[in-house]
Amino acid sequence: MIRTLYKAVFVVALWLQFPAIAGAENYKLPEYEAKALFLFNFTRFVQWPPDAFSSPEATINICIAGDDPFDSSLDFVKTRLVNNRGVKIKLLEWPADTRNCHVLFVSSSEETRMLKILSTVLRQPLLTVSDINRFALKGGVIEMYVHDNRVRFRINTSAAMKHRLNIGSHLLELSEIITGEAQ
């Protein structure tokens, strides 16, 4: 019952990003539009330590390492606020300075460098997200994947702790939990 309620709240939050789909029963978002919504909504359900931001007004920076698979799907975040903070998207070429990033999406174009990227950002207050297979098992915080034509996600709680992130319980309820030590 509680899990269903949390799921409904999360889905409604996604629909609020694109009101046009709220009344469409059979509407299906393209994969990366759906993943863009999830990526943005993760910021709403994660708490960073206070030292992750330079000031109370600092933006939440979503950084993309590698090729941008989202195209313009993340453009909507430019007008959104999360906990009274604006949101910016930054494209990074690796190796990159991630000190001003709060979310790091590791594109599949960086699969061969994934372990190097994860070891470089380890212990930074940074939410690492990817759709690379086994990303969460390799030490990433959130791995998005498609199952039964729906975007799902895994959360590595050990990796989240190493990054000093507090993942909201409602987000954990909707995910597959990975509890092993982040590699």
Which of the four CATH numbers 3.30.413.10, 3.40.50.300, 3.40.50.2300, 3.50.50.60 does domain 2-178 have?
3.40.50.2300
What's the mean pLDDT when you consider all of the chain? 86
Confidence of residue 135 (pLDDT cuts 50, 70, 90): very high
Write out pLDDT tens, residues 7-55.
Answer: 544 554 544 444 433 333 444 679 999 999 999 999 999 999 999 999 9
Kindly compute the dihedral angle of the four CA atoms of residues 179, 180, 182, 183, in this order, to the nearest 10 degrees.
Answer: -160
Contacts of 37 (CB under 8 A, 6+ apart): 14, 17, 18, 29
Domain positions in the chain are: 2-178
pTM of the model: 0.84
Q: State yes or no: pLDDT of 142 exceeds 70.
A: yes
Question: How many CB atoms sit inside 10 A of residue 53's CB?
Answer: 17
Which pLDDT value is given to residue 147?
Answer: 93
* Biggest CA-to-CA distance, the chain: 45
The residue-averaged pLDDT of 114-129 equals 95
**Residue 32 CA, distance from chain mean position:** 13
